[in-house]
Structure 1
Amino acid sequence: MPNTHPAIREFAVAGAEEGPYSITTGPDGALWLTFAHSGEIARLTLDGQLSRYPAGPESCRPTVITRGPDDALWFARTDGHLGRITTGGELTAFALPDPAANPFGLCTGPDGALWFTELNTDRIGRATLDGDITHFALTSTGAFPSFITPGPDGALWFTLNQADAIGRIDLTGEVVLHPLPGGAAPVGITCGADGALWFVEIAAGKVGRLDVGGDLQEFPLHHPDAKPHAITAAPSGDCWFTQWGANRVGRISPGGHLTEHDLPTPGSEPHGIAIGPDGAVWTALETGSVARIAH
């Protein structure tokens, strides 16, 4: 059953109105976050030093952030841009052809380009480091492509939140969809150390595992309304994930064993999650903090 993990510590980094959302480890040994509501990017060192940089206009709403292939941080903005920020705080923005595309998931592909999802257009995008954009249309309409991750097979894998499916796109743009049971609404996805794709089903309250051959396993959480959101793979082979509806972080082993831990502050709204430069698990809490989970 869920418990309060004795090694969870929370650190305030912003006001609740600023909305820490996504988190990743940068090339500089610091943690980088998006503040969705205030339109900022933040850099947090392990000794607690916080620096904040504009992500664009205050209303730009930066969401998912990732380390790029060029040792800068790249992030999606809901105002139809991809952003790039160096570790020194220098910002560049690339406008997408459709300003209403709402880019969201973002990762570095095996080809050294940035691959991203567009929530509103049923497309997967590819951006070179100088901002050249290519789009690949999906066959589903209203599918709401969400997170995206490099797979173990040289392709990119992504969630289709409203189509109840996991998608695969190769570097030529060929797309294959793997349907899930109805009512799953997958969001976060990562490639596990076991070579499978692990993802979370926000509507069904489950963690899923899909191998590259299409074999699917699902693991229900203790709380059916937990609303799991983001997931990340640890070098140990386990995957860690956030449950913003249940105010918990969870851990699942390659064999499907689940452990769930309550966060110390009620209603803290955990969203993004990452393995930090210190090997601990870090999660962004939308109410204005980050949590560090030793393991």
Structure 2
Amino acid sequence: MVALVGLVALMPAAKSSPDAIGQVTQYPLNGTTNAGIADLLTTLDGQVWFAQFYANQINRISKTGQISSATPNLPANAGPRGLAVGADLNVWFTEVTTGAIGRISPGGEVTSFTNGIMAGAQPQFITAGPDGNLWFTETGVNQIGRITPTGEIKEFPISNSAEFITDGPDGNLWFTEPGANQIGRITPAGKVTEFSAGITSGSYPWDITAGSDGNLWFTELKGNRIGRITPQGKVTEFSEGIPAGAQPLGIAAGPDGNVWFTQPGTALANQIGRITPAGTIKQFSTGISPAAGVHGIAPGPSGDMWFGELAGNRIGRIATGAPPLPNRARIITASTAKSVVNVSVRVPGAGIVSVLGESAPASSTPLCWNAQTSTKAATYRLKCSLLTTSSPTNKEALSVRLKVLFTPTGGTPSTTARTVKIKKN
């Protein structure tokens, strides 16, 4: 999607079978020291983008290890940290130092937005919301921010400082409040609810992600545990299999149905952990260099997890055992406007892509349907209009389970799914 600009490095380490679960490959950032790799993100071009806070860069790495600049013209001393793909298919990022939200177009053009952001906000992490907007945390002023694709910003006060934020399975945004030992939830309308029951005192919830099981999973940096919170706010903590001093930090849902997390604790010389939906934990450390400082983690385009090494100045990749899915369409964004669902779908080639909306969680009542013929690998936008009898009333909102079916020309059909919540009329 984005043209390659300025090759930075190409030094892939030797790798073995990609099917070996836990196999690690590391890619050094040659010529860059103290980069401060913060957040990672797989984008529509099939590459993994990563923010380098100290180096003031946003770069990307291909499946084969080619590292290139995503944009050469970031504002000076921007301090890029969080990354997200928006409903407009641009890449959005936080500028911690300058107190702005940045946007990178498919052509690499950078636009920064500051109007509406309170002085000293320190925007940290950002995620695409179910309403088509971007949502971000403002650590310096105890607020959650919302920015539209056109750059209009609104801020919502919360009781404590927030760090990470993610799009939840219930149509809301979920965020961590480390110092307050809480998990927060904010609706697209701005209503905030905070949960602390079930979280051990002093645990310091840090990163958060939506799991394949319909729950939210988070790391407890000081509590040395992984937490799970249901959309209703019930918390379960898991510690068996996490050695003392692990310091769970970054977390992300993997393509294998499990959740993967980083552990940079000095007592362990770095590990990557995997936790199943049932709470079983397995550790992986072979192939990770000593004192790497494993940090952020994200799913990659080929069934692997990619992670940053804050101290090691490298990008790492760990095999999950999940096969690449070259013929599966991917839901990039799904936003709602009254009785219409707008879906952006990345299609890998020629064929027919269709979207079906069903009632959730039962997924039994058809609510809408649309289809389109694809002629090549590209991103397609489909509009799914709800049946009149299915539109939400003033007394209720409607959860819709979107199923995207892609049938490649001469190939086998495959599906992917996501749940969104329709706004009240």
Taking structure 1 as the reference length, the TM-score comes to 0.93
1:279 aligns to 2:303 (yes or no): yes
State which drifts further: 12-21 or 204-213.
12-21
1:256 aligns to 2:286 (yes or no): no
Residue 86 of structure 1 and its aligned partner are, at CA, apart by: 2.6
CA change 1:23–1:55 in 2 (3 A) is farther
Give 1 or 2 for the bigger CA radius of gyration.
Answer: 2
- The residue correspondences of 1:115-264 to structure 2 (distance < 5 A) are 115-138=135-158, 140=159, 143-179=160-196, 180-220=199-239, 222-245=242-265, 246=268, 247-262=270-285, 264=288
Distance between the aligned counterparts of 2:281 and 2:161, measured in 1? 28
5+ unaligned residues in a row in structure 1: which ranges?
none
1:45 aligns to 2:62 (yes or no): yes
SS of 1:166 mapped into structure 2: strand
In structure 1, the residue matched to 2:26 is 10
Distance between the aligned counterparts of 2:188 and 2:22, measured in 1? 44
Alignment equivalent of 2:100, drawn from 76, 81, 98: 81
Residue 54 of structure 1 and its aligned partner are, at CA, apart by: 4.0
CA change 1:6–1:116 in 2 (3 A) is closer
CA contact (8 A) 2:100 2:112 kept: yes
Q: Deviation string for 1:232-268 (max 9, x for gaps)?
A: 1123320011112241111000000001111521111
Distance between the aligned counterparts of 1:277 and 1:167, measured in 2? 30
State which drifts further: 276-285 or 233-242.
233-242
In structure 1, the residue matched to 2:83 is 65
Count of aligned pairs: 289
Residue 284 of structure 1 and its aligned partner are, at CA, apart by: 1.0
State which drifts further: 16-25 or 167-176.
16-25
In structure 1, the residue matched to 2:413 is none
Code of the residue aligned with 1:206 in structure 2: it is R
CA contact (8 A) 2:100 2:117 kept: no
Distance between the aligned counterparts of 1:237 and 1:6, measured in 2? 15
Residue 56 of structure 1 and its aligned partner are, at CA, apart by: 2.8
In structure 1, the residue matched to 2:392 is none
Residue 172 of structure 1 and its aligned partner are, at CA, apart by: 1.2
Distance between the aligned counterparts of 1:81 and 1:54, measured in 2? 18
State which drifts further: 242-251 or 275-284.
242-251
State which drifts further: 162-171 or 42-51.
42-51
CA contact (8 A) 1:204 1:224 kept: no
Distance between the aligned counterparts of 1:84 and 1:212, measured in 2? 30
Distance between the aligned counterparts of 1:178 and 1:6, measured in 2? 34
CA contact (8 A) 2:208 2:251 kept: yes
- Aligned-residue Cα RMSD (Å) equals 1.7
Q: Deviation string for 1:148-205 (max 9, x for gaps)?
A: 1111111111100111000111111111110022101111101111111100011111
In structure 1, the residue matched to 2:45 is 28
**Structure 1 stretches (4+) deviating beyond 3 angstroms?**
none
CA contact (8 A) 1:39 1:55 kept: no
Q: Deviation string for 1:126-169 (max 9, x for gaps)?
A: 0001111011111x2xx220111111111111100111000111
Residue 69 of structure 1 and its aligned partner are, at CA, apart by: 1.6
Distance between the aligned counterparts of 1:206 and 1:106, measured in 2? 24
In structure 1, the residue matched to 2:340 is none
SS of 2:164 mapped into structure 1: strand
5+ unaligned residues in a row in structure 2: which ranges?
1-20, 321-425
Q: Which has the higher contact order (CA 8 A, sep 6+)?
A: 1
CA contact (8 A) 1:41 1:55 kept: no
Code of the residue aligned with 1:273 in structure 2: it is I
SS of 2:256 mapped into structure 1: coil
1:294 aligns to 2:294 (yes or no): no
Distance between the aligned counterparts of 2:177 and 2:191, measured in 1? 16
Distance between the aligned counterparts of 1:97 and 1:71, measured in 2? 23
SS of 2:298 mapped into structure 1: strand
Distance between the aligned counterparts of 2:244 and 2:143, measured in 1? 30
Code of the residue aligned with 1:238 in structure 2: it is N
Distance between the aligned counterparts of 1:277 and 1:151, measured in 2? 21
Distance between the aligned counterparts of 2:62 and 2:248, measured in 1? 27
CA contact (8 A) 2:213 2:277 kept: yes
